[in-house]
Amino acid sequence: MIGQTEYTERREQLMAKIGNGTAIFRSAPVAVMHNDVEYAFRQDSDFFYLTGFNEPEAVAVLAPHHEEHRYILFVQPKEWDKEVWTGYRTGVDAAKEKYGANEAYPIAELDEKLPKYLEKADRIYYHLGRDRKFNDCIISHWQRLMATYPKRGTGPIAIESTHPILHAMRLVKSPTELEMMRKAVEISVEAHNHAREFTQPGRYEYEVQAELEHIFRLRGALGPAYPSIVASGINSCILHYIENNRQMQDNDLLLIDAGCSYGYYNADITRTFPVGSRFTPEQKILYELVLKAQLAAIAQVQPGNPYNLFHDTAVRVLVEGLMDLELLAGDIEEIIKEEKYKPFYMHRTGHWLGLDVHDAGVYKHGENWQTLQPGHVVTVEPGLYIGLDAKPAEGQPEIDHRWRGIGIRIEDDVLVTESGHEVLTAAVPKSVEDMKR
């Protein structure tokens, strides 16, 4: 697990970047089902990254300019009559002892105590997010301080988002973070390999889902990192299919996109394989094309390469293959530029991975793509989806019926290293021979 020393280092790094500012972070809200039953709590990733504190109704304040209190937590106090219903709380005193806060207060005192951590700051670092009530709270404090600025000559003159600074930090994973991600991968690999062995004609998609998620919890994961996609037959052409209620048949493909969350760090793996003993000829042709595109894309995950290169590489391989199959026709450069391949491949080839499945971090700086560097973790996941109702782009050939109903995606988690890359999820087989059953 991440130790308090690393959380302290993260806060110090952020405070060094904000200078004389004050940064404010709000915990995630509690989500309610059935009117009065709470969903399992999942902390806001930015808040957790800086504090390790895993309770709702909390606010973290970083005030590097304050003489005594650089790190302040506002938390729920200990209240037995409430804890007996919803679980133990850390409380104010333990927030300092256990989480390293220089000072801690009950959350009810936020409005009273916050101004003294803002009045000498030159700006407020806070991301105006979905919590409109809390947004209004921060803006109200800022407006009151601005009203007295002419008399004092100090105070925050602007509100600036924390995202550009903090998310650049989150993008590069520490050795401890990578340990957590490797554990999430290890569990997810076991689950995928078991699911492939378990799958057979006549079983239902939800049975496979149950096997996957059983292993997630059995091995100590928090559970699925996202709703598990277990898509057989035509369902494999729906990118975010989660109903998982179809009975699988011989000659179907099964697309499983699933990963677990371990200590809030995530894995994200996709494999596509025959439900029966082997691919049909058409399935095999398209599968080999997607695998070729994925391997070529992974080869481009190198330090110093622009982020978009592995996507562009996958697209070119897929377009060349689709042209050979007469599913696309014309000039390859025009097809790529005008995205005439999108009826068959409509998503990007990957995303950042970490505390969030689609993790924090920019992909592009103006016209320039982010440069890959050691410690970045990306997914590489090309696919082809030829639905029953798929329509070719204007001027492209009609789709031969023999290709319809086939959806394929292959996804691995790839770490950028000093000398190249490491496929973290390599222990889940993906060759054509390995997919035979």
The predicted pLDDT at position 436 comes to 76
What's the CA gap between 15 and 70, in Å, rounded? Answer: 9
Enumerate the active-site residues. Answer: 36, 240, 257, 268, 347, 351, 358, 381, 385, 409, 411
10 Å Cβ neighbour count for 186?
A: 18
Of 56, 57, 51, the residue nearest 71 (C-alpha): 51
The predicted pLDDT at position 28 comes to 96
The token duo for 268 is 């994200």
Question: Which residues of the chain have a pLDDT value below 50?
Answer: none
10 Å Cβ neighbour count for 1?
A: 9
Q: Are 358 and 352 in contact (CB under 8 A)?
A: yes
| DSSP for residue 164 | H
The token duo for 267 is 């894995």
Written as one string, the DSSP assignment of 194-245 is: HHHHH--TT-BHHHHHHHHHHHHHHTT--EESS--EEEEGGGGGSTT-----
What's the CA gap between 357 and 364, in Å, rounded? Answer: 19
Residue spans of beta strands (DSSP E) within 103-182: 103-106, 124-125, 159-160
User: What is the rounded end-to-end Cα distance, in angstroms, of the chain?
Assistant: 38
What's the CA gap between 307 and 312, in Å, rounded? Answer: 10
Q: Cα dihedral sign for 428, 432, 433, 436?
A: positive
What's the CA gap between 287 and 408, in Å, rounded? Answer: 7
Give me the amino acid identity at 72: I
The predicted pLDDT at position 35 comes to 85
Q: Rounded to two decimals, what is the model's pTM?
A: 0.96
The predicted pLDDT at position 151 comes to 83
Of 176, 175, 118, the residue nearest 144 (C-alpha): 118
The predicted pLDDT at position 141 comes to 94
| Sheet arrangement for strand 71-75 | 103-106, 71-75, 59-62, 22-26, 124-125, 159-160
Q: Are 248 and 199 in contact (CB under 8 A)?
A: yes
State the virtual CA torsion across 329, 331, 332, 333 in degrees, nearest 10.
Answer: -150
Q: Are 153 and 145 in contact (CB under 8 A)?
A: no
- Residue pLDDT, tens place only, 153-207: 888 999 999 999 999 999 999 999 999 999 999 999 999 999 999 999 999 999 9
What's the CA gap between 334 and 337, in Å, rounded? Answer: 5
Of 161, 416, 152, 402, the residue nearest 285 (C-alpha): 402
The predicted pLDDT at position 150 comes to 84
Cα–Cα–Cα angle for 133, 137, 138, nearest 5°?
120
Of 289, 226, 281, the residue nearest 251 (C-alpha): 281
What's the CA gap between 93 and 114, in Å, rounded? Answer: 18
